[in-house]
Structures are given as C-alpha cells and as structure tokens.
Structure 1
Amino acid sequence: MLLKSDDIKRLEIDFDSGILPPPFSHQFKLKISFEKSFINTQFTMRYTDRDELSLEEIESEGFTENDDVDFVGEIPMVWQKPIIDLYAQTKWSNKKELDENGGIKIMAKDVHGKISRSLPLNQEVWHMLSQELIQAIFEVSQKEAPLTVRYLDIDNDSVKSCAITMKFSIRKPILEINDQITERDWEECRELLGYVYLPDYDYELATETMPKKRGKYIDCGDGLWHKFGKGVINLDESFDAVSKIQQGFDKLNQL
C-alpha cells in the first residue's frame, strides 16, 4: 500500500550490502521522523562478517578495528522535501524483503498510523540519497568536515582556481572562484562531483604541493593534486568522465 507522500510522518531506510565480502560488507538503518522545525534522525551502521579476518587484513583495506557508527540527533528541515519528493516519484516492487544481493527497503508511516513496507525499483537513487544523508549526519556530528574539491587551470597567461565545498548538512554548495565566494545550485554541483569519483587516480603521480606548471589539476578532497592527462584515467571506455569534469569546472571558471 503506497501512502500519500504529503501525509508521511516517519520513514525508515534499511540497507544491506548483500554478497559484498568483508571488510566491506555492512548494513545501515536510517530512522527519520519529520518534526515541525527539524528532522529527528537515528542512524546505525554495522560492518558484518569481520570475525573471519585479522586486524591486519581489515586495516590493509583502509578500515579500522571498529568502523560501526551510532547517531541520534537532528538534521535540518531542508532535507524533508528531497526525501518526500523521492518517495512520491518512486515505483515499487511487489517484493517486501531483500534477497541475497541486498539493497534498500523502505518503511513509511503516515499521520494516520498507516504503514507501508516495500522495495523501491530505483535502488541506486535511494542509495545515493542515503549516502548524502549519512554525509549530512557526519557533518552535524562533526565526524567529518564538509567535502571540498579543488580545481586548478594553469596556462602561460593566467591561473584559474575553483573550489566547491558541499555542505550536505544544509544542502548548499559554496563555490570559490579566484577568491570570490558564491552559492550555487545543489543539483548542478552534485552532478559535477558525481563525475569526479568515476575515473581512476594514480596516487603515485599525485603531489601534496600546489602545482605551478602548466596544466589542469584536481584535488578530490584529500589534499593531493592529480594532473589531467597524466594521472586521471577513465575506467569506462564508453563514458568520458574526465572530459565531463574538465568541462564542468571550466564552465564554472567562466562565471
């Protein structure tokens, strides 16, 4: 039974990574209640099946001894509309439970006490929204700082710098172009940053110091600079993400 989106009072997002092996395998749950001036939020993340791995094996993949997360708190109301809009636009499976491949299932409860449980057909969109909500929680709890991606274009005559800071907690991207700061459209910047994480980056060629030689460079948020044409490589031959990144930042630099 699909509930009327305007009447939804509470939403639960359950995720299971399915057949993904440890130490990557995990589950998370987001419990969201829409209040008058904030969204009451509970978030738990549990990494699974790690008993069969040594601590050395876990750390070799970039994890720690305990990566589980627990959060209870408030996130801004600016998140209500995108969550409700996605629910209203979603088409649903006839299934009620996940299979061995995992995925996301949704429980919704409305102001009348009616409850709906189902699996969204647009799994990737719900997973993306969930990851953005988790990032907002990390910012609110000060577990992580807002993500900043920097782009540098150096030629013989000029140096153009551009930085996008994605403030997930308030759904606002802050754009800094040659020391001039403005706010930009969330969807526009989210699409651009989506391209940023598609290529492969050769970290052996990256540098911590800001480049000075001619070329185009990107810092994906970890303080390391990668040069286009040298250390940024498309993984999918059918989609040129590298060009999309350069075109997107070049367009912003012209503003």
Structure 2
Amino acid sequence: MNVKISYQTLQLPPPHAFAYTLDLSFVNDEVQIAYELEFLNRDDISREEIEAEGFSENDDYKWEGTLGNEWASLLHESLQNIELEDESEDFNIYLHVEMSENGETRDGMVVLAEEWDYKLQELIQAIYEKAGIEKPLKMLIQAIAGNQRAFYEVSGSFEKRAARINKTEISWEALHDLMADIYTIDFDQEPVKSPTKDGLWVDPDGESGYQRFEDQAGPKAEDIKKRILQALEV
C-alpha cells in the first residue's frame, strides 16, 4: 500500500499556520515515510513577530526514514478502514488522503478528521523522536499525604508506542487516559524542586521541577486526582 496524506491548517494565522505531507509505503514489517513540513504565509509578518512567538525564520522540515511494526501494523489497518468523502465540513483543517493498493486507488477528504488529526500528531512525534529532535516522554509525579510520599516515573516512547509507570509496562491506551487527566492543567506556575505540601505534584518534563495539581485543576481536581492515583498504582 502506498499512501499520501496532505494536511493544512485553515484557521491559524502566521507564524503558526502550517501544512505537511506524509508519503507512506509499507514494506515487510516497516513503514517507509517521507515527511515534509512547511509554515505558511510568513511573508505577511515581520521577523520580530515570528521570533516573539518562539519560532525562527525558517522552521520548515523534511525527514525520510522508517518506523517499525508498531506503527506499520497500526497505520496499515487504520488506513484500510478509513472513511473518505468528496468534501469536508471541517473548517479548521484540510486533511486529504490518496492511497493505492493492488492496482486499486482511493482518495478523498477524511471523515473523522479530528480523530485522525490526533493520530497523525502522534505519528509526527514518533518521527521527531526517531530523528533525535524530541526525547521520549518522561514525567515525574509525587503524591504526598502527611508522612507518606509515593514517587512515580511515567515514560512513553512514541517511536515504539510503549509506555511504563516506574518499571511496569502499561498499554498505550492507558497512557493516553492518564495524560488526558494530567494535562487538564497548563503547568504555568513557578516549579518547586522539593515539594513538601500535601497533594499531587507533577514534573511535566522530568527535569524542571514540580507543580501542585490541585492548585490549577479547577473544581473537579479531587475527582481527577483520584483517577490519576488509581492509574498510577499498576
């Protein structure tokens, strides 16, 4: 199977607006990938405006390489079952797929664009990890209650689609659910190196310091905290 995926943001202004293509070929137990990212409409703004948003003058990127069976099997099965339509009602993204297999071709706009958008973000994160641009996910958590203190290290490799809590393997889906709860907060407070106050303390990148979950998670903090603690006790 050979597949071309074309993606473009439709509502984002520069310097955030971007488009990318993914050319996929499935060979044995691997998927061969050509990835090309281009940022759009930056001629309309100044270099100072671009840099103020944390970008550089040229953030375009190209990569060619392979990912293993963890991605090859998932993508092959998902693409075989993908729903396509002639026109999309999604006003936020353009997501088009062309594919050919055994002499047959299909193309169209992706029906479940939001679901596929998330899946493709994970694929691109796996590419950046394989390329050495991004590190695997690592998060440190402490749960403090009086004199009791529990430590957890959550790790995940997008390239391998593998996750652990401390030394125990968990499913990729379990990592999804855990991260969805943890990232209900924005981690924008001043980090603490050695927390002492009772609560759930999260170091989102495993090296910058802890922030107290309850201080930022809003009125549902306790319910979410219970789910997180249950997920951590594997």
1:197 aligns with 2:197: no
8 Å Cα contact 1:151/1:249 also seen in 2: no
Query: What is the aligned counterpart of 2:154 among 139, 149, 164?
Result: 164
Alignment match, 1:6? none
Residues in 2 aligned to 1:131 and 1:101: alpha-carbon distance in whole angstroms:
15
Give 2:97's aligned amino acid: I
TM-score normalised by L of structure 2: 0.89
Alignment match, 2:135? 145
1:104 aligns with 2:80: no
Alignment match, 2:194? 210
8 Å Cα contact 1:98/1:105 also seen in 2: no
Aligned residues: 233
Query: What is the aligned counterpart of 1:32 among 24, 36, 39?
Result: 24
Alignment match, 1:247? 226
TM-score normalised by L of structure 1: 0.82
8 Å Cα contact 1:98/1:104 also seen in 2: no
Cα displacement (A) at 1:88:
4.1
8 Å Cα contact 1:217/1:228 also seen in 2: yes
Query: How big is each residue's C-alpha offset from its partner over 1:6-55, in whole Å with a ceiling of 9 and x where there is no partner?
Result: xxx12222110012101110001111111113211111111111112222
Residues in 1 aligned to 2:194 and 2:77: alpha-carbon distance in whole angstroms:
41
Query: How big is each residue's C-alpha offset from its partner over 1:202-244, in whole Å with a ceiling of 9 and x where there is no partner?
Result: x2x32151323322111222724221222x245xx8xx5x556
Query: How big is each residue's C-alpha offset from its partner over 1:100-134, in whole Å with a ceiling of 9 and x where there is no partner?
Result: 64321111110x23221111211111111111110
Residues in 2 aligned to 1:243 and 1:28: alpha-carbon distance in whole angstroms:
40
8 Å Cα contact 1:167/1:174 also seen in 2: no
Residues in 2 aligned to 1:89 and 1:253: alpha-carbon distance in whole angstroms:
33
Structure 2 spans left out of the alignment, 5+ residues: none
Structure 1 spans left out of the alignment, 5+ residues: 1-8
Residues in 1 aligned to 2:80 and 2:137: alpha-carbon distance in whole angstroms:
29
SS in 1 for 2:84: coil
Query: What is the aligned counterpart of 1:132 among 117, 122, 138?
Result: 122
1:175 aligns with 2:165: yes
**Cα distance, 1:60–1:252 mapped onto 2, change above 3 Å:** same
Percent identity of the aligned residues?
Answer: 24
Alignment match, 1:228? 213
Cα displacement (A) at 1:86:
2.5
Residues in 1 aligned to 2:79 and 2:6: alpha-carbon distance in whole angstroms:
14
SS in 1 for 2:22: strand
8 Å Cα contact 1:173/1:184 also seen in 2: yes
CA-atom RMSD in angstroms: 2.2
Alignment match, 1:42? 34
**Cα distance, 1:197–1:29 mapped onto 2, change above 3 Å:** farther
Cα displacement (A) at 1:154:
1.0
SS in 1 for 2:146: coil
